[in-house]
């Protein structure tokens, strides 16, 4: 017998996982070299681009994982 998990628990997990995933994705994106695309001395623009992309990818990643977990929870 499985215990159904409340929707509020998934919301809390989603928020925590979002921040953790965003940090990991931001660190992983540091390996990409965008200096050839941008002008010299544009480090702040590159950092801002990394931050925006990391937030978007973090949200999409966590949303996909939580949707799978909620589907499995609703199945049982």
The predicted structure's pLDDT at residue 4: 72
The answer on pLDDT for 66 being more than 90 is: yes
> What stretches of the chain adopt beta strand conformation (E)?
none
The answer on pLDDT for 72 being more than 90 is: no
In the chain, domain spans: 32-76
Distance of alpha carbon 18 from alpha carbon 24, whole angstroms: 10
The predicted structure's pLDDT at residue 57: 96
Q: List pLDDT tens digits, range 6-65.
A: 888 889 999 999 999 999 999 998 888 877 888 888 778 888 888 999 999 999 999 999
The predicted structure's pLDDT at residue 2: 57
8 A C-beta contact, residue 68 and residue 9: no
């Amino acid at each position: 017998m499985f215990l159904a998990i409340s929707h509020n628990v998934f919301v809390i997990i989603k928020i925590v996982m979002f921040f953790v995933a965003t940090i990991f994705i931001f660190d992983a994106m540091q390996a990409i070299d965008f200096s050839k695309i941008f002008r010299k001395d544009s480090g702040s623009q590159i950092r801002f681009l990394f931050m925006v992309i990391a937030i978007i990818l973090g949200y999409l990643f966590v949303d996909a994982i939580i949707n799978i977990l909620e589907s499995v929870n609703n199945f049982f």
